[in-house]
């Protein structure tokens, strides 16, 4: 049986509204398939535009195990490329942020301009044509201060999400932010278990007591804050302020502006702002939390004082890298307007708790006694949605390539 036939067999065995068959969480064939069919075919949020403020700034990152490079060119445009030299494939830039007037391969010194064109390649002969050896581009969309990439030759439709994201995120003006802090957490769990955990709050009341101080962890279905007595007045305040807030979604994305717990204006240990320099003055900077999420890999929360982004990247069948990023207003000063330890405390605790839950989940799924169980359609509606989306995209890919 070839790998696609095996994947098709696994998908066919999945019962509606149940977790996935064991092999889709644990088998190396599923990991290889997911990199190509899921991460390789999806729109992914790579960064916020503020991370590349000047020409020559770049960000090198991974999509699964594939190296990707974002760079701001001399004209100020952000471009995305495969981070691999057109000579013999060496990685050009190591992971992380950097700055350079040109992109120089460390192996044989092939040199590229910031627009991806090949500038110089020594000792290649008189008939060598530099124009045929520029960096391989990746589809990129720049919307409301955020950068989205897709590695597919024919990316999924983006326009509906782009328009809605601009409407929801635009008032917070992400172009005026700066990256304040980052964190990497390595989890010994399959990426789908990590993301299912990130898509539901069934576990939150007991699993995240700190998060529950400011965040409405008893929400049902698509972030319906039925137990929050201030939800209705919050919706009225957002409508008066011209801020869209209704929970909406498309095939691979979700958006909602959520009322936080009474007395809370930020997602923090005590519900108070973690940065004194607000992102907006609308409604006294009390704008709840703008949550956006993209399948397969991320969610984010933007409150009136800061933005938190969670990104999940699969590295192996049982290894997932979780990247966290915190952003504040570009004029906020560390030590005066914000303290990094206090800013990071809540999400570091929450992510550590989720790491333990996901790793424990993976160990249990490895058992010969594992049987896919039913989701709670009230408390795990977004986890069901994630699993359904995964299976539909996987089935489409198998049908096209099998």
- Give CA 311 to chain center in angstroms: 4
**pTM, full prediction:** 0.97
> Which pLDDT score is estimated for 229?
74
- Cα 173 to Cα 287: distance, rounded to the nearest angstrom: 13
Could you tell me if 110 and 126 are in contact, meaning their C-beta atoms sit under 8 angstroms apart? no
pLDDT band, residue 226 (cuts 50/70/90): low
Out of 3.20.20.70, 2.102.10.10, 3.40.50.720, 1.10.260.40, the CATH code matching 44-150 is 2.102.10.10
- Provide the 3-class DSSP secondary structure of residue 94: coil
Out of 3.90.380.10, 3.40.50.1000, 2.40.340.10, 3.30.420.40, the CATH code matching 173-365 is 3.90.380.10
Write the pLDDT tens digit of every residue in 76-118: 999 999 999 999 999 999 999 999 999 999 999 999 999 999 9
The domain spans of the chain are 44-150, 173-365
Write the pLDDT tens digit of every residue in 120-142: 999 999 999 999 999 999 999 99
- Cα 277 to Cα 336: distance, rounded to the nearest angstrom: 10
Write the pLDDT tens digit of every residue in 7-58: 999 999 999 999 999 999 999 999 999 999 999 999 999 999 999 999 999 9
- Cα 255 to Cα 242: distance, rounded to the nearest angstrom: 16
Q: Count of residues for the chain?
A: 402
Q: What integer best gives the mean pLDDT of the chain?
A: 96
* Distance linking the first and last C-alpha atoms of the chain: 12
Q: Any residues with CB less than 8 A from the CB of 83 and at least 6 apart, and which?
A: 60, 67, 68, 69, 91, 92, 93
């Amino acid at each position: 049986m070839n790998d696609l036939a095996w994947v098709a067999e696994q998908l066919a065995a999945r019962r509606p509204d149940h977790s996935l068959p064991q092999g889709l969480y644990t088998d190396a064939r599923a990991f290889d398939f997911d990199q190509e069919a899921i991460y390789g075919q999806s729109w992914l949020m790579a960064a916020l535009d503020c991370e590349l403020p000047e020409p020559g700034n770049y960000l090198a990152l991974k999509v699964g195990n594939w190296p990707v490079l974002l760079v701001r060119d001399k004209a100020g445009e952000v471009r995305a490329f495969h981070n691999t030299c057109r000579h013999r494939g060496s990685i050009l830039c190591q992971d992380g942020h950097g700055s350079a007037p040109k992109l120089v391969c460390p192996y044989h010194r092939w040199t590229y301009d910031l627009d991806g064109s090949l500038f110089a390649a020594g000792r290649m002969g008189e008939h060598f044509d530099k124009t045929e050896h520029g960096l391989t581009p990746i589809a990129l969309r720049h919307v409301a201060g955020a950068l989205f990439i897709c590695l597919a030759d024919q990316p999924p439709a983006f326009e509906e999400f782009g328009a809605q994201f601009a409407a929801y995120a635009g008032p917070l003006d992400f172009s005026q932010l700066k990256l304040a802090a980052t964190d990497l957490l390595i989890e010994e769990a399959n990426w789908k278990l990590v993301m299912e955990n990130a898509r539901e709050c069934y576990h939150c009341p007991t699993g995240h007591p700190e998060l529950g101080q400011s965040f409405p962890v008893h929400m049902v279905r698509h972030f319906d804050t039925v137990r929050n007595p201030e939800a209705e007045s919050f919706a009225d305040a957002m409508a008066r302020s011209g801020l869209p807030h209704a929970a909406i979604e498309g095939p691979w994305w979700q958006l909602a502006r959520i009322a936080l717990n009474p007395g809370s204006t930020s997602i923090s240990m005590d519900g108070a702002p973690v940065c004194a320099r607000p992102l907006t003055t609308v409604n006294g900077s009390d704008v709840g939390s703008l949550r956006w999420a993209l399948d397969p890999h991320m969610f984010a929360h933007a409150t009136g004082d800061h933005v938190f982004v969670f990104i999940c990247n699969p590295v192996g069948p049982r290894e997932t890298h979780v990247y966290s990023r915190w952003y504040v207003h570009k004029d906020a000063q560390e030590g005066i307007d914000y303290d990094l330890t206090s800013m990071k405390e809540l999400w570091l605790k929450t992510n550590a708790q989720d790491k333990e839950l996901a790793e424990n989940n993976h160990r249990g799924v490895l058992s010969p006694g594992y049987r896919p169980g039913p989701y709670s359609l009230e408390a795990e509606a977004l986890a069901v949605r994630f699993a359904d989306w995964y299976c539909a995209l996987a089935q489409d890919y198998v049908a096209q390539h099998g």
